Structure 1
Amino acid sequence: MEPRAAVFDVDGTLVDTNHLHVVTWWEAFRQAGHTVPMHAVLRAVGLGSSDLIAHLLGEDRDRGRDAELSAAHKALYGQYFDRLPALPGAGELLRRLHHDGWTVVLATSASGSELGALRRAIDADEAIEATASSDDVQEGKPAPEPVEHALELAGVPAERAVFVGDTVWDMRAGARAGVRCLGVLCGGIPRADLAQAGAEEVYADPADLLAHLGDSPLT
């Protein structure tokens, strides 16, 4: 059988962190004197820090404070590293795919100690072949580069890969990389938005995808 790659976003897809990101970004913005609605932050989660700040504050912001905002978010979010909760079925799904012959690769904007905390939460390192982190690419999602780099790590062409994510940024990145995209609702983004952005199928969470694996593109 030819090699196949199952590429996964992490935040909101495998680990239940999106709303932690919302609260900690909201607080970082508040501390810097910005009023940003939480619903707007939620829809921006999944972008890299610089892109998220630009998306929420606009191009006419004081860019000299971007690093300060990112550092504040990192410090606030870092308080949760020892108790990040995996989403239902996350580890089991990765182990099942690995057992079935899929090359499992993570494609995430997280890196360093944050990525380490996420992997500990998933608790399926034996199933994960490689990780494409924000340190490895010039442009984050929705650019295709994170997914393309994941495919390079897997040694698999786009037509033999499936990408699973929870945000419109994930779906757009996967679509631009030429892979089949599956969405999950556990990150808080509506089904219609994921489908419009390129999701072929949408599942509730990793456990739901695992339960319907035989009828999915990951069969």
Structure 2
Amino acid sequence: MASGATRPAEGEAVSDDALREAAETMRAVRERCVWTQRITHRDLVPYLVEESAEVIDAVEDGTRADLREELGDLLWQVLFHAEIAAGDTDDPFDIDDIARGLTEKMVRRHPHVFAGAVASTPEEVLVHWNAAKAAEKKERTSVLDGVSAHMPSLALAQKLVGKAAQVGVGAPTHHLADPETEAELGDALLTLVQFARTRGWDAERALRERLRSLRTEVQAAEAGPGTARE
């Protein structure tokens, strides 16, 4: 392990720590499964996207059992990436390094919990968070640094509208009634995103939930009146 921790020997009993057991299960799969041995970080990206989407489905429209299972599947992706990284010859790190780095970062970003800072409102919490983040990311020169272009377009639009506001750039506005070109349609969509942002709404979630309702309506129409679906 990159951090010097000792792994259980082959055949040795795994501890009662369920997370450790999951990590060791991943290690065994990586060592013994010929398909898994060939997988790279890049190969895993489609699975990470899929599993993340399934967690969202479970949160918004699933049962508690669904959520527990899908969070487990997402955790498996993290463990998978960690095990691949542990085998890197140039810059190895493992799940313990990831967890340690995460803990250190979260402690830094919550000085009102772990140090003497005071935050009595969510807004004050955000001030501490942003200050700690700025100190960590001193190399960033733009408010856009760290904003992934791979986010869904609607979620990315809402993120960029907020970032633009930080530097005094207003989002395009458009009369929503009848855009005449694709560019005007883009402006109209951004207008709606800005509308959502000013009200504290999540534009991506709003559309996703409406699409879920539309899916139900389509299925009901396919079934026909009085027809039971299989």
Q: TM-score normalised by the shorter chain: which range applies? A: under 0.3
If asked which structure has higher relative contact order (CA below 8 Å, sep 6+), I would say 1
Rg larger in structure: 2
Q: Greater strand percent: which structure?
A: 1
TM-score, normalised with respect to structure 1: 0.28
